[in-house]
Chain A
Amino acid sequence: MVNAPAGAKESLSPSQLDGQQDQALGRLITVYIMGKAYEVPAEATIMGAIEYAGHQIIRGAGCREGYCGACATIYRLPGDYKIRTGLACMTMVEEGMTLAQIPSVPAEKAIYDIEKLKPNVTAIQEMYPTVFRCVACNTCTKSCPQGLQVMDYVQAAKRGDIAEVMDLSFDCVVCGLCMLRCPAEITQPLMGIMAKRLYGRYLRKESHELVERVKAVNDGVYEAEYAEMMSMNREALSKRYYARDSE
């Protein structure tokens, strides 16, 4: 694969360069979207550039703010052999960038009953045995657009250290780029989700006041006060509201 694929440059109409919007957008650069050249604003994100080119994204856009992982993208830069990874909504275009979005990363989620699992290495072995194929190459970590220590949490999973997996995978957006790049075919994000659930379910510190509060609600402790406030007129309620103390 060469860096700059063939493809006619789409020249922009003069009208496109008119108008306030385009003034604000400023300088244009060339990028190759799935092999085809487009001129796009130099300050655009990859997602902005794809849309500027007139594509209607169906797969490949979700929250558009870096939380949902829908917009996994791979790209290369001119004169550089490296395959780079990023979220399209968070990554800026660069001159000569050649890019493709990953519409979906095939991966099989383990089906399990969390009530029947224990927060230990056995759960990992049974549900995500591919974790033990890790060759510690660190490609997952290098491909993570969130900058997470993915390989470290895979290692923690091998040790059955569920708390460590939870902590290190906490900010994972499940874009799937690590599992696409992994030579051992591990599905890191899915294992991470299971580990987080195991932590929340079994390894958390119990909140006694939460348990007590739930019981108090069920016992109807607050019913009388609810009834009182719900029968108050707006004026009386407003008075109580503005007079309330604050923590």
Chain B
Amino acid sequence: MYPDYMAESLRKVVETRPKRLELARKSGPVYPPMDAEERQKVLEGFHPDYEPSARRAVCVGPNKGETLTTEVADLLESHSWLRSEQVDLTKPDIETDVLIIGGGGAGCNAALVAMREHGVRSVIATKLRMGDANTMMSQGGMQAAVSRTDSPTRHYLDAIGGGHFENKPELVKALTEDGPGVVKWLEDLGVVWDKEEDGSMKVMHGGGTSRKRMVSCRDYTGAMIMRTLMDEVRNHPDMIEVKEFMPAVELIMDDKGQCAGAVLYNMDSEEFITVKAKSTIVATGGYGRLHIRGYDTTNHYGATGDGLVMAYRAGAKLMYMDSVQYHPTGVSFPEQIAGFLVTEAIRGAGGQPLNKDGELFVFPREPRDIEASAIIRECVQNGGGVPTPSGRVGVWLDSPLIDMLHGEGYTERHFPAMYRQFIRYGIDITKLPMLIYPSLHYQNGGIEINERCETDLPGLYVAGEASGGLHGRNRLMGNSVLDYNVFGRRAGKYASEYAKSVKLGKLSVAHLDAYEKQLADANVQTDLVTPILLPSYAPKDVKKRQLVRGGNTLPGTSVLQNRLHDDAFSPAGAK
């Protein structure tokens, strides 16, 4: 339940509701959408990326000199777990055609396409269980231009406008033209899409969409897709070998500069395992667990940007790593679920963000960076936020409107996960609004790819959130679910074709030594060792006592105990 002191504000929400309901029933927008100039102003004034300390120049690697998100620069200016002399590459422990790093949506799609369409074997190496990925958590839906009023080219225009015209056009074309085919591919694998009576796809709006384009599986969209893909992967143990709790910690190259596999780390036995592969796909997802700028995150436990740093050390260029997506509607209260995602589909279905006086202050379906910035502005500048007992702040998201607009029972039927999330804490979202605030959600940039998922390094392919270029500096809702399907499939295809012809040379991890030398030359002082693998949420004093063990400041000791950067990576508590 909400604390008593919020009652007055809640009363105002109820008071303004009839009028707002009337607005929502009309055809026009309930609040004027911003034009280009207004968008720029709210971004520059209030988006966390624009705070002075949010970005800094990175001083090593392929993007040297470029301004990146500060936490990303920290991540890149770090030591490897390994030095070349520690790794014996004369006899790899595992050999395969395609090594897929990451067992989320992109990785599973790639493995299935490699097997079904190219007869190619693969190994999926993943940090936690297969499916422990942001894929599992997407709620509201996937964009795909499937309705009669829509078209793939209109989807293209929406996506590229949402990304402020900085997206790589060939990637957006690939995304939008493959969209309808992905819906069909998943349906034939057994994904249960929401349908209209006549069998046509049920479509909803998302932020920045000019047509209803969000296809969904209630609000368990990602879970449905992920479980279907995983189940199919597990139907083919002869072709796809799954290595769980075995994250990659470095890529392996050959003496011709081609990517040739990776070194894995067994989380149980703490062994390092070498994998030789003709081609390698990085599908490691994003970095929400770096808690950039101290924000709570919607991301899964393992989202620590591992693929970024591995590929960067090997020489792959990153793109748009100065841009972070804060989801407009993370939970602000109750404390226990702070930062959790409230699906954008709530706004798509008619939910309205309101200030403490129950007044609208933004069009509910602006692109995410704009909507989030407007919410921050309302709280920080206009004092329109509602403070929580733990020192957070939030604005209301008026969910009871949804049943009023679509009929009683709609919310419980279409948003069972959301309903469940809040009712555990005594908040019935069909009767009471949710208190929300932006939450760290998505890595807009990543390792630069082309429409074939190729990178600067021959033999290295990237798909999904780990990649950069597709979304420009702002992704729209539902385009990441489509992203990992489209580009996971493409990575599977092109990595398989490449694997059939490539001749690998002598294996090497000399790039790790070279990178170490760059750090020394640039006079980088850091005790951070990456990939981080898992964040630590132990209280500070516990962490201090954990680090008493001697020799822990150098790489090569236990990965899991050697997390030294406790200040930067402590949990985002009250800001």
On A, residues with C-beta under 8 Å from B are: 13, 15-16, 19-22, 24, 43-45, 48, 51-59, 61-68, 70, 90, 92, 109, 111-114, 146-147, 166, 170-171, 173-174, 193-194, 196-201, 204-211, 213-214, 217-218, 222, 225-226, 229-230, 234, 237-238, 240-242, 244-247
Q: Report if A92-B336 is in contact (Cβ < 8 Å); known contacts: A16-B541, A21-B573, A171-B218.
A: yes
Q: Report if A24-B537 is in contact (Cβ < 8 Å); known contacts: A199-B190, A208-B200.
A: no
Q: 8 nearest interchain CB pairs?
A: A197-B190, A205-B199, A241-B161, A200-B190, A51-B537, A54-B542, A62-B132, A225-B153
Instruction: Tell me the B52-97 residues at the A interface (CB within 8 Å).
Output: none
Contact B192 A204 (CB under 8 A): yes
- Chain A neighbourhood of B201, CB < 8 A: 207, 209-210
- Chain A neighbourhood of B170, CB < 8 A: 230
- Chain A neighbourhood of B217, CB < 8 A: 170
Other than the given A171-B417, A225-B153, 19 more pairs (CB < 8 A) read A13-B541, A16-B539, A21-B573, A21-B574, A43-B335, A48-B336, A56-B560, A68-B137, A170-B218, A171-B218, A197-B189, A200-B189, A205-B199, A208-B200, A217-B180, A218-B181, A230-B170, A241-B157, A244-B157
- Chain A neighbourhood of B228, CB < 8 A: 193, 196-197, 200
Q: How large is the interface on B (under 10, 10 to 19, 20 to 34, 35 or more residues)?
A: 35 or more
Q: Which of B151, B184, B301 makes the CB contact (< 8 A) with A61? A: B301
7 interchain pairs, CB-CB under 8 A: A24-B574, A55-B538, A218-B181, A226-B152, A229-B153, A230-B170, A237-B161
- Chain B neighbourhood of A222, CB < 8 A: 151-153, 177
Q: Report the separation of the CA atoms of residues A225 and B152 in the bound assembly, to the nearest whole angstrom.
A: 10
Minimal beta-carbon separation of B66 from chain A (angstroms): 21
Q: Which of B149, B156, B534 makes the CB contact (< 8 A) with A229? A: B156
Q: Report the separation of the CA atoms of residues A218 and B177 in the bound assembly, to the nearest whole angstrom.
A: 9
Q: Report the separation of the CA atoms of residues A44 and B420 in the bound assembly, to the nearest whole angstrom.
A: 18
Judge whether B20 is part of the interface by a CB distance below 8 angstroms. no
Q: Report the separation of the CA atoms of residues A25 and B523 in the bound assembly, to the nearest whole angstrom.
A: 40
- Chain A neighbourhood of B381, CB < 8 A: none
How many A-B contacts if CB must be within 8 Å? 235
Q: Report the separation of the CA atoms of residues A48 and B224 in the bound assembly, to the nearest whole angstrom.
A: 27
Contact B245 A196 (CB under 8 A): no
**Which of B140-148, B249-257, B548-556 lies at the interface with chain A?**
B140-148
- Chain A neighbourhood of B190, CB < 8 A: 114, 196-201
Name B160's closest neighbour in chain A (CB-CB). A237
- Chain A neighbourhood of B245, CB < 8 A: 58-59
Contact A109 B546 (CB under 8 A): no
- Chain A neighbourhood of B534, CB < 8 A: 56, 58
Q: Report the separation of the CA atoms of residues A170 and B211 in the bound assembly, to the nearest whole angstrom.
A: 28
Judge whether B424 is part of the interface by a CB distance below 8 angstroms. yes
Judge whether B191 is part of the interface by a CB distance below 8 angstroms. yes
**Which of B6-14, B230-238, B401-409, B476-484 lies at the interface with chain A?**
B230-238
